[in-house]
Amino acid sequence: MIVRCSKCEHEAVYLRRYTSERLCPSCLVHTSVDRVRRAINRRKMLREDDRIVVGVSGGKDSAVLLDIIHQIEQRYPQTEVIPVTIDEGIRGYRDQALEAAKALSRSLGLSLVLRSFEDVFGMSLDDMVDVRGDTGTLGACSYCGVFRRKALNLAARELEADVVATGHNMDDEAQTVIMNIMRGDGRRIGRTNRLRMQPIRGFVPRIKPLAVLSERDIVAYAHHTQLPYHDVPCPYATEAYRNDIRNFLNDMEHKRPGTLTAILRSGEAIAKAIASTSSESFYSTCSTCGDPSTTTMCKACQLLDKLEQG
Ligand SMILES: [Zn+2]
Ligand SMILES: [Zn+2]
C-alpha cells in the first residue's frame, strides 16, 4: 500500500516524527526550507542587506545550511552569502570534506573562503595535540572547538560580515542545553542562545537557523537533493559525555517525539530570563587579544599560552 504525502498527492518517503508529517521528497525539501525561513523571521536572525558568513565544514549539516540560506536569500538581492571553511589541519581528515565544500559552493555560484589554524594560530590541530602530549586534561575537541570559534569570528570580522550562520541542528542544540544543565552551567545557555539583537562588541553575531531541523531531517534533505557532502568521524573525536546525552535523548525522542523541540523551547526561555537580568557588563576584554571574554584572558589565549609553554 502506498502512503500518501500529507501535503500533496505523491507518495510519502519520509516521516517527520515530531510533527507527524508524512512527506514526499519535494515536500520534505520545501517544508524544511519553510521551517528555517520561519525560524529566521521569528528570531529576527537576518536582515535584508546582510553580508552572511556561513561556516561550512563539508559535512551534511553545513551543506544543508548553505543550500537553504542560498535559496532563502535569492529573494533578497542585497544580501551576500560567503561560505567559510576553517581547516583545523588534521592529516588525512579534512581533504575530502574540503573538496565537498568547494564543489557545493561552486554549484551555488559562491566562492569558498578558506582559513587554517596554521594561518591564524601558527599551528595545526595535529601540532597542538603533539605539543600537548599527555600533560593536558582537555581533549582535542575542546581545543578544536575553542579555536574554530575564534578563527570563524576573526574571518567574519575580516570579511566585514554582519552575521555568522552555523549548521548546528536540533539534536546538537538539545544536547548542549542538557549538557549545560547537567554540568551546573545553566548561565551558559544564555550565552549560546543569544538573539541577534543582543550583540556583544567584538563578536560577530551568530545564528543557528538549522536548529529547527532534526538530524534525521537533514540526512533526508541532503539525500534527496543529492548535495555533495562528506561526513567522516573526526579521528580525535572523544566527546564521551555528549555521546551519553545523545543516546539518552535519541531514546527519549523515539518514545516521545517532540522532546527535542521542547528542550529547545526551554533553552530559549532560560536564555530570555538570563538576558533580562544581566547585561553586556558580564563580558570584559581579553588582556592578550582584546576579544570579548568572561575571564581576564580568553579561553583561546589561555590554551595558546599553555601550548607555547609546552
Ligand atoms: Zn508532497
Ligand atoms: Zn584572547
Tell me whether residue 23 is in a domain: no
Ligand 2 center–CA 297 separation, angstroms: 5
Contact (Cβ atoms closer than 8 angstroms) between residue 192 and residue 176: yes
Of the listed ranges 27-36, 72-81, 279-288, 295-304, the one predicted with least confidence: 279-288
Ligand 1 center–CA 123 separation, angstroms: 49
Q: What percent of the chain has pLDDT over 70?
A: 95
Tell me whether residue 199 is in a domain: yes
Has residue 174 got a pLDDT over 90?
Answer: yes
Distance, in Å, from the CA atom of 102 to the CA atom of 302, rounded to the nearest integer, reads 33
In this prediction, residues 184-202 reach a mean pLDDT of 82
Residue 295: nearest ligand to its CA?
Answer: 2
Residue 302: nearest ligand to its CA?
Answer: 2
Each residue's pLDDT tens digit, 70-84: 999 999 999 999 999
Q: What percent of the chain has pLDDT over 90?
A: 67
C-beta neighbour count of 121 within 10 angstroms: 21
Each residue's pLDDT tens digit, 259-282: 999 999 999 999 888 887 765 556
Amino acid at position 45, single letter: M
Tell me whether residue 260 is in a domain: yes
Tell me whether residue 14 is in a domain: no
Residue 153: nearest ligand to its CA?
Answer: 2
Contact (Cβ atoms closer than 8 angstroms) between residue 89 and residue 131: no
Residue 298: nearest ligand to its CA?
Answer: 2
Ligand 1 center–CA 115 separation, angstroms: 40
Each residue's pLDDT tens digit, 49-64: 999 999 999 999 999 9
Ligand 2 center–CA 60 separation, angstroms: 31
Tell me whether residue 309 is in a domain: no
In this prediction, residues 285-293 reach a mean pLDDT of 89
Each residue's pLDDT tens digit, 127-147: 888 876 654 556 777 778 889
Cα three-residue angle 55-159-105, rounded to 5 degrees: 45
Tell me whether residue 151 is in a domain: yes
Q: Quick one: pLDDT band at residue 234, thresholds 50, 70, 90?
A: confident
Has residue 126 got a pLDDT over 90?
Answer: no
CATH for 36: 3.40.50.620
- Outline where 1-56 has alpha helix (H): 25-42
What's the domain range around 146?
32-278
In this prediction, residues 217-237 reach a mean pLDDT of 90
Task: Supply the pLDDT for residue 95.
Answer: 84
CA 69 remoteness from chain centre: 13
Ligand 2 center–CA 243 separation, angstroms: 30
Task: Supply the pLDDT for residue 278.
Answer: 66
Has residue 8 got a pLDDT over 60?
Answer: yes
Ligand 2 center–CA 88 separation, angstroms: 19
Residue 303: nearest ligand to its CA?
Answer: 2
Count of domains forming the chain: 1
Mean pLDDT of the chain: 91
Residue 9: nearest ligand to its CA?
Answer: 1
Ligand 1 center–CA 22 separation, angstroms: 8
Residue 305: nearest ligand to its CA?
Answer: 2
Has residue 32 got a pLDDT over 70?
Answer: yes
Tell me whether residue 47 is in a domain: yes
Contact (Cβ atoms closer than 8 angstroms) between residue 158 and residue 119: no
Is pTM beyond 0.85 here? yes
Residue 26: nearest ligand to its CA?
Answer: 1
In this prediction, residues 231-250 reach a mean pLDDT of 84
Tell me whether residue 296 is in a domain: no
Q: Which three cell numbers stand for residue 173?
A: 542544540
Q: Ion ligand 2 — residues with CB under 5 Å?
A: 286, 288-289, 298, 301
